[in-house]
Structure 1
Amino acid sequence: MALQRPASLSDAFLERLVQRVPSTSGGSWKLTEVYTGDLLVELPQSAPEDVAAAYARAREVQRDWAATPLKDRLAVFKRAHTLFLDHAQTTTDLIQAESGKNRRMAIEETCDPVMVMSHYLKRAPHLLKPVRRGGPIPLVSSSTEIRQPKGIVGIIAPWNFPFATGISDSISALMAGNGIVLKPDNKTALSPLYGVQLLEEAGLPRGLFQVVCGEGPDVGPALIDHANYVMFTGSTATGRTIGERAGRNLIGCCLELGGKNPMIVLEDADPDEVVQGLMFGAFGNTGQICMHIERVYLPRSQYADYRRRIVAATEALTLGASYDFGPDVGSLVSPDHRDRVRAHVEDAVAKGARVLTGGRVRPDLGPAFFEPTVLEGVTQDMLAGVTETFGPVVALHAYDTVDEAVALANDTDYGLNASVWGGDLDQACAVGRRIESGNVNVNDILATAFASKGTPSGGVKQSGVGARHGDQGMLKYTDTQNLAVLKKQVMGARPGQDYDQYVKGMLGGLKMMRRTRIR
């Protein structure tokens, strides 16, 4: 039976969404439903001149937004919190249509901006409040730390979580008084466009949040050159290019990049929980999660049992195209990406790896489906051994000692996420602290770390620079102004005073400040 597209995704609705994308060139990109390959809408393509105009418009509105009292800015997001939840099903339909992920992952993605709003609605008043401190001379001087918005933040969002990254990464920047120019991936522009519409319905000034669309080489340089700060989520290679250009422009950037994330299973771990966790860690969002697991290290004494359990659980997963909660695993995002994943598996097999289950494309289900795949015998001369596959493919490895497992986990250029499983939490945490990774989850794959919005989340090594979430996730979008006040001119020798006497008095005063803890 032919797949029925949700009624919410009418042609008129989709056309209204893409009308806000500026395009003076008249070019368009065919945005298709991933499950079927059918055309959803012609997405306008922006030229560099359109990007420049979007920044100019956002700057006009941002001046008044920055001057708006914080409580009034936050009131917009209190209303948006309700709107996002009320319209979560429509957002989920959009996410599924444009990305092909299963419904569980799509509905969970809609929750991320709401969680970010909740956190910063509580935290922003403290983070953005001016902080008065003492000056160099007690009583007659002071220094106040003032947080000011950077201006317009350029955000480049990936296709794997277009709504969560495109909207969530904007929220703290907007609360802090900035404007936004967002470039989503062409394949997944609809859900962030809908998010902007909901924010404007909540009272966000129209024009403050701009969306431009186009291929990276076409509009990326203009997006960076006009920005006051850049937030990027994507590949390490692209992140390096963006970081270099931002550096030349003397602007800051935050880069969440690739990963080759390991999972270490200790001998006292619960096998049922390990296997259940791995099914999400390896195959959630069809393996297209920056923090998902691609390498699993198992105790050699338990390897055979774990291999049997993991293969059986993988083969029990259901794969399919559906707008309900039926299938466990959805589609890859495109036929091109399907071919990349297949190439990694074929390269591994050609060099001696074994496919324990899966490993095949599934054109009978749709244009971009690939079976959940478990490999063993993967080595570092294989693409799947060192390069991020970013698909439903996981490799199993045996280890003899915990030291060996930690060394293997760290033997990578990446350091975004890691997972450790064990019954003794102290021991598991001790192992986790030895892993070179910006995020480490104990007895979980990724959700505990990423959903902890109060703690920064970012990568080390080649997995990124900076972090989202936590205080850093808002303060990075601000500049610090040091407003210093001197009430009386006492810094220097008085008229007629011998300078040697002044220096003696100054040094004596500094000693007194140290003893009395006066700052």
Structure 2
Amino acid sequence: MTTAMQRKSGLRGLSGFTTRAAVEAALPRLTGRVAADPARTTTTTAPFTGEPVAALPQSTAADVAGAFERARAAQRRWAALTPRERAEPFVRFHDLVLSRQREILDIIQWETGKARRHAFEEVYDAAGGTLHYARRAPRLLRRERTPGAVPGATRTYFHRRPKGVVSVISPWNYPLALPVSDAVPALLAGNAVVAKPDTQTALSALWAIDVAVEAGLPEDLWIPVLGEPAEIGDALIDNADYVAFTGSSPVGAAIAQRAAARLIGCSAELGGKNPAIVCEDADLDWTVEGVQRACFSNAGQLCISMERVYVHESRYAEFTERFADAVRGMELNADFDYSADMGSLTLRRQFERVDAHVRDARDKGAEVLAGGRPRTEIGPLFYEPTVLAGVAPTMAACGEETFGPVVAVYPFGDEDEAVHAANATDYGLNASVWTRDTARGRRLAERIDAGTVNVNEGYGAAWASYGAPMGGMKRSGLGRRHGVEGLLRYTESQTIASQRFVSLGGTPGMNAETLSSVMTASARLMKRFRIR
């Protein structure tokens, strides 16, 4: 970071990672666990400035295979511990993340360019989601009794065994929250993890692994690898016992196909073109603020953010005027404090995609109500939060996921029309409904084809309800993170049944016809007395 940037951020002299010297001092520790040749490196750049951040080691397919071998050896020892013993490091991890948040907030901002308030969402999520599972894993993983084949004579229970070694492949947009939310339940279930964070934002994931080891997680249970998908992607699937992926729908489909060929499980949270429905009775003060946050958190680079807003025709003019005014008033800056409402885009390709979608919409007749232009005088990848009206199906911004700070607003006449429009997409990740009548909002929510629907909130209510499953319908994903499924997806159920007193083959000398008669009578008696 330049001296000018340090002065602008107001963070000179604070401990953390706001200077190059601080990052360089930490790099050997953070990168020391990467399974890679340290001589093969790639250099990441800061979205705020375009300047270099760090030279990170890059893994080969052979490095990935070696990481799995080490992880398997560590996993066998880890799985022998009780779930309660495995939970202890993660309770400490929760505390360390909160107490050391300044340094990870700096790292996240430096790598992603997001506003600090949005970086804090990751800190809160990494701590809160971890504690949720650390508290509940012992109960979810305990042995369970179930009725046996013959009451009193068959004793049956089932228990959960870890899959083995899990591949966790995570993207650049939430580089702390997403690796942690997938790896921690896998580890608590008794697995080891080989993790591939995106190289651009790898320091955030490496920091999390470093903190977990400090909290007491044994070495080699959470091993990072870094590299391009073309070089190490296949190895991450071919050596794994389960794959947890977050990213685009096309890549998720390819991973699912390769995993299926090996008959291993996978889960995938993929893309979204998420709708918000603003009813005629919505509280506009509440709704404008909430929809603004739902659209532009992390500069719109959020799978569960809103890209389509449907407003009842009786409130459309008032809502769009107030919403556009609020968006035009948003503060954009590259400061390492809480002053920005929105930060930078992270990657050049995202910047170019956002600009292309806005240009295409404008050229084909859409109206730009707010934003609509780059702000490179702030930083090379800054783009104004943008509100479009009159977006038609011929425009890329209508049906394609923009994954940036662009939202289209549309009027609707009645609930059926709004639900039809919300569901008119191949995606089904997240949605929101805005109304003073929460019972009505829930009824509407149940008609929307999305894995999570928030009423009077954009995404945070459902996401941070860690006891409830989170994932996508249609092309937005497979399986669920969070909830019971978020932990048990990493396990295999094993049933143990022991027989005593009565043989299922009948008493000695009993023929098959007599046995079938006895079993028929027994079935009728068990039904009558509700034993079954």
Does TM, scored on the shorter chain, surpass 0.5?
yes
* TM norm structure 2: 0.96
CA contact (8 A) 2:49 2:379 kept: yes
**Quick one: which of 4, 7, 16 aligns to 1:8?**
16
| 1:433 partnered with 2:441 | no
The code of the aligned residue for 1:184 comes to: P
The code of the aligned residue for 2:88 comes to: A
**Quick one: which of 91, 103, 109 aligns to 1:78?**
91
**Quick one: which of 78, 87, 99 aligns to 2:112?**
99
**Quick one: which of 514, 517, 532 aligns to 1:504?**
517
Counting only pairs closer than 5 Å after superposition, residues 330-341 of structure 1 correspond to structure 2 as 330-341=343-354
Encode CA deviations 1:157-203: one digit per residue, 9 max, x unaligned: 01110110111211111111100000000110001100000100111
Counting only pairs closer than 5 Å after superposition, residues 293-308 of structure 1 correspond to structure 2 as 293-308=306-321
* TM norm structure 1: 0.98
1:345 deviates by 0.9
The code of the aligned residue for 1:36 comes to: T
The code of the aligned residue for 1:332 comes to: L
1:68 deviates by 1.1
The separation in 2 between residues aligned to 1:368 and 1:360, in whole angstroms, is 11
**Quick one: which of 176, 189, 198 aligns to 2:211?**
198
CA contact (8 A) 1:93 1:323 kept: yes
1:25 deviates by 7.8
The separation in 1 between residues aligned to 2:515 and 2:320, in whole angstroms, is 79
| 1:316 partnered with 2:329 | yes
| 1:257 partnered with 2:265 | no
1:280 deviates by 0.5
**Quick one: which of 156, 165, 175 aligns to 2:178?**
165
The code of the aligned residue for 2:5 comes to: L
The separation in 1 between residues aligned to 2:517 and 2:95, in whole angstroms, is 64
The separation in 2 between residues aligned to 1:387 and 1:500, in whole angstroms, is 65
The code of the aligned residue for 2:16 comes to: S
CA contact (8 A) 1:25 1:47 kept: no
**Quick one: which of 298, 302, 320 aligns to 1:285?**
298
2:483 counterpart SS class? coil
Equivalent residue for 2:47? 34
The separation in 2 between residues aligned to 1:191 and 1:433, in whole angstroms, is 36
The separation in 2 between residues aligned to 1:160 and 1:362, in whole angstroms, is 20
**Quick one: which of 46, 54, 67 aligns to 2:59?**
46
1:430 deviates by 1.2
- Could you list the runs of 5+ residues in structure 2 that have no partner in the other structure? none
The code of the aligned residue for 1:131 comes to: E
The code of the aligned residue for 1:295 comes to: R
Q: More displaced, 494-503 or 289-298?
A: 494-503
1:24 deviates by 3.0
1:249 deviates by 1.0
1:162 counterpart SS class? coil
The code of the aligned residue for 2:409 comes to: L
2:4 counterpart SS class? coil
The separation in 1 between residues aligned to 2:385 and 2:97, in whole angstroms, is 32
The separation in 2 between residues aligned to 1:344 and 1:24, in whole angstroms, is 40
CA contact (8 A) 1:334 1:367 kept: no
- Could you list the runs of 5+ residues in structure 1 that have no partner in the other structure? none
Encode CA deviations 1:299-355: one digit per residue, 9 max, x unaligned: 112211111101110111011101011111100002221011111111111222121
1:507 deviates by 0.8
The code of the aligned residue for 2:132 comes to: H
Counting only pairs closer than 5 Å after superposition, residues 173-252 of structure 1 correspond to structure 2 as 173-252=186-265
Encode CA deviations 1:466-512: one digit per residue, 9 max, x unaligned: 01000011000000001111124511133322332221111101111
Encode CA deviations 1:2-39: one digit per residue, 9 max, x unaligned: 21176522111134312322223832111112211111
The separation in 2 between residues aligned to 1:181 and 1:401, in whole angstroms, is 49
| 1:412 partnered with 2:414 | no
CA contact (8 A) 1:15 1:41 kept: no
The separation in 2 between residues aligned to 1:213 and 1:59, in whole angstroms, is 19
CA contact (8 A) 2:37 2:57 kept: no
The code of the aligned residue for 2:77 comes to: D
The separation in 2 between residues aligned to 1:497 and 1:168, in whole angstroms, is 57
| 1:361 partnered with 2:374 | yes
CA contact (8 A) 1:358 1:372 kept: yes
1:53 deviates by 0.4
The separation in 2 between residues aligned to 1:186 and 1:224, in whole angstroms, is 18
CA contact (8 A) 1:89 1:107 kept: no
